[in-house]
Copies of this chain bind each other. A is one copy, B any other.
Amino acid sequence: MTQPKIATRLFVEEDLSAGRSLGLDHARAHFLRSVLRLARGAQLALFNGRDGEWLARVEGLGKGWASLEIVEQRREQRAEPDVWLVFAPIKRARLDFMVEKAVELGASRLLPVFTQHTDVSRVNTERLAANAREAAEQCERLSVPEVTESLGLSALLADWPRERRILLCAESGAARPIGEALAALEASAGQPWAVLTGPEGGFHASELDALLKLPFVTPVGLGPRVLRADTAALAALTCWQAWLGDWGERPPFRTTEGG
C-alpha cells in the first residue's frame, strides 16, 4: 500500500486515537491557515511521542482556531536510540543550527551545561525546545527530545545516572580515535549513552581531570583538525549513530513530500 504524501507534520501533546477531535492553539492554528493556507479537509500527520504517527484532517479552521479529526494510524511508536547531547552553550545562531541537526541525528535529550570556559551567560531553553520541536516535525521523528534547564558541570556530574555512559569529545592524551573507541564498545549499543562537548575554549584542565576519573566516561578524538564546538557535537552524534545507534536500519519512512 502506498500511503498518501502529506505535507505537514505536527507534534501535539494530546493522546492520539481514531475518531478523536482536537483543537490547536492560536499560534499553530494561525500557522495552518495563514502560512500553510490549509483549508477544511486538508490532511496532516500528528505525533505525540507515545502513540506513533496519525493521519488527521482539518475539520474546520478560522481566525486563531483550528480543529482536527484524527483518522487512522500511519506508523506505530517505536523505540529510538537513547543518546543525550550534553553541550556547553554557544552563540545563538550556531546553537540554533546545532539543535536542529542534533534532533535530525537522533539525540533523545538536549542538556545545556555551563563549564569554566563557556562564554555565553544564559541559554534560552524555551527557544531551544521550540527549535527541537520544529526539527522533529521536519525529520519524521516520532518524538521530540526534551530540553532540560541548564546547570553547571559539577552539578550535572554529581547527579549523573551512572549506567549512562558518556562519550567525551576531548583533545586529551587519553582520547582514542572515535571509531576505534566505538568499535570497542559495540556491546553497549542498547544501553543509555550521552555525548558531551565543551565550549569553544575547550574544557578547563581540572574539568577534564574530573571527567577522566569517572568510570563511565570514554574520551574520544575527532581527528587532526580543530573542530568548532558545534561541529564536534554533530560529528560525535553521527559516529555514535553509525556505530552504536540505529543507522544500521534501512533508509527513512517519508511522510512529507519531496524526494
Contact = CB atoms under 8 A, between A and B. Distances in A.
Interface in A197-238: 200-202, 221-228, 230-231, 234-235, 238
Contact of A223 (B100, B117, B225, B252): B252
Interface stretch (A39-47, A61-69, A176-184): A176-184
A82 interface: no
Interface centre among A100, A138, A242, A249 (most CB of B within 10 A): A242
Given A139-B228, A223-B249, A224-B249, 12 more contacts: A138-B228, A171-B251, A171-B252, A171-B254, A177-B247, A178-B242, A178-B247, A179-B248, A180-B248, A200-B258, A223-B252, A226-B256
A225 B259 contact: no
Contacts of A104: 225-228, 231
Contacts of A254: 171, 226
Contact of A235 (B105, B141, B225): B105
A251 B175 contact: yes
Nearest to A250: B221
A106 B223 contact: yes
9 contacts: A101-B234, A104-B227, A139-B225, A171-B251, A177-B247, A177-B250, A179-B243, A224-B250, A224-B253
A150 B174 CA distance: 43
Contacts of A231: 100-101, 104-105, 234
Interface of A: 97, 100-101, 104-106, 117, 138-141, 171-172, 175, 177-180, 200-202, 221-228, 230-231, 234-235, 238-239, 241-243, 245-254, 256, 258-259
Given A139-B226, A202-B258, A252-B226, A247 B171 contact: no
Contacts of A139: 225-228
Nearest to A204: B259
A171 B181 CA distance: 28
Contacts of A243: 179
B258 A201 contact: yes
Given A251-B172, A251-B175, A225 B180 contact: no
Contacts of A200: 258
A167 to B, nearest CB: 13
Contacts of A171: 251-252, 254, 259
A95 to B, nearest CB: 12
A226 B257 CA distance: 12
A101 B235 CA distance: 10
